[in-house]
Amino acid sequence: MKLRRWCLAVLGLAVSAGACLWVARKTEWPLVWAHVRALGLPGLTAMAGAYALGFFPRAWRSVAMARSYSGLTPGVAAEAVVLGYAANNVLPLRLGEVVRTVFLAHRLRVSRAACLASVAAERLLDALCLAVLLTVALGGLAWQGTSLPPALQPLVFPAVLAVACGAIALVGVFIAAGPLERWLQARPAGRLRALGLHVLAAAGFARSPRLLAQVAASSLAVWLCEGAMFWAAAYFLHLPAPFLCGYLTLAFVNLSVLLPSSPGYVGVFHAAALFALTPFGVPADQALALALVCHAVPYVLVTVPGLGIAWRHRAAFAQWRDPASPPAG
């Protein structure tokens, strides 16, 4: 297991290094910095405000989805999200999801398996939302009369297929979750039974029309806020069709960070932005300037408070191997 983790870490560093080299070969740094400086304080303020605003619906969504959590409040949920994002910025292999799971399990005195199932359900829902945004952005560009570049045309079918599969999965949970839960509860105790019940509990929001509507609305708000940061950057950098270019780049970079990479997704994030924008005629230097600021603003906004949260609850992480230990804070 340790060898596998080391191999994945090395693979992530190699992917990031390769992406950085590819980006460096396509850009001229003096022009990139000139674009970054031209963004100005108004642009950075708009970006920071849009991104920070997205943490409110993230917290509300976590509360709605985590029905098995006892005592989860929007404040604790927001702390967990910020902590997880900060850990992803300083640790490889998306270990921030594990950090968030450990934090919630100790804060709320629930099993780590239940917390991890809920976090995984949120990530899958995020992937579905990004597929929807990618489909809408590509469709919007085509509707405006912009022909899709050959490099992006193969993405249309997978995006539509992902949206359709996500919708079918939600309908399946709504129809079959009840009978499947009763069947699992009648089975003898075991790891598979427990895992199945945790997964059903994490997807339990889809069984209630009210909760499903709340989760869908908050998910839309999350990505509209985060996309507004990219939109603001595209607007202040004078990109063509800044709204559609901003949300297209949002979908690309957030799907790209699913790949193994270095802490903070360095290189992969920036290469994805260039891949999204340059086929539409955006100069590579301008695309990289957008990627740099859209990476730096969230990095600073979550890493600094996230490290503070980790320090405040350090006792929970020191004792996390003991499920009976009291939560810190």
Q: Does residue 58 lie in a domain region?
A: yes
Q: Does residue 13 lie in a domain region?
A: no
Per-residue three-class SS string for the chain? CHHHHHHHHHHHHHHHHHHHHHHHHHCCHHHHHHHHHHHHHHHHHHHHHHHHHCHHHHHHHHHHHCCCCCCCCHHHHHHHHHHHHHHHHHCCCCCHHHHHHHHHHHHHCCCHHHHHHHHHHHHHHHHHHHHHHHHHHHHHHHHCCCCCCCCCHHHHHHHHHHHHHHHHHHHHHHHHHHHHHHHHHCCCCCHHHHHHHHHHHHCHHHHCHHHHHHHHHHHHHHHHHHHHHHHHHHHHCCCCCHHHHHHHHHHHHHHHCCCCCCHHHCCHHHHHHHHHHHHHCCCHHHHHHHHHHHHHHHHHHHHHHHHHHHHHCHHHHHCCCCCCCCCCC
Which residues constitute the domain of residue 203? 29-318
* Model pLDDT, residue 261: 72
Q: Does residue 5 lie in a domain region?
A: no
Q: Does residue 16 lie in a domain region?
A: no
Q: Does residue 112 lie in a domain region?
A: yes
Q: Does residue 10 lie in a domain region?
A: no
Q: Does residue 280 lie in a domain region?
A: yes
* Model pLDDT, residue 70: 61
Q: Does residue 242 lie in a domain region?
A: yes
* Model pLDDT, residue 325: 45
For each of the chain's 329 residues, which pLDDT tens digit applies?
A: 567 767 777 777 888 889 999 999 999 999 999 999 999 999 999 999 999 999 999 999 999 988 656 678 999 999 999 999 999 999 887 888 889 998 998 888 888 888 888 888 898 899 889 888 888 888 887 787 777 777 777 877 787 788 788 878 877 877 887 888 888 888 888 888 887 888 888 888 888 888 889 999 999 999 999 999 999 999 999 998 899 999 999 999 998 887 667 788 999 999 999 999 998 889 999 999 999 999 999 999 999 999 999 999 887 777 665 544 444 44
How many domains does the chain contain in total? Answer: 1
